[in-house]
Amino acid sequence: MKGAGLVTGEMYTDHGQTSRGSTPKDALTILNSLSRALAQELGCSAEAKLSAEVPDGHKAT
């Protein structure tokens, strides 16, 4: 949704560069952590309401 004051994030992982046991949730954990750090840097952590962990049931696409 452009213009809605949102920041969209994407992350590409080359399966040759990831650990054998890594899962899509591992990538989401990293993206979530980066999102929280960005929100803090931008001063909108409270408004962003990002959780400390990736909620169960969310999948990487």
Nearest residue to 52 via CA among 41, 9, 37: 37
Report the predicted TM-score, pTM, of the whole model to 2 decimal places.
0.63
Residues 6+ apart with CB under 8 A from 51: 32
pLDDT digits (tens, 9 = 90+) for 27-36: 888 888 888 9
pLDDT digits (tens, 9 = 90+) for 4-45: 667 676 767 676 667 778 887 888 888 888 889 988 998 988
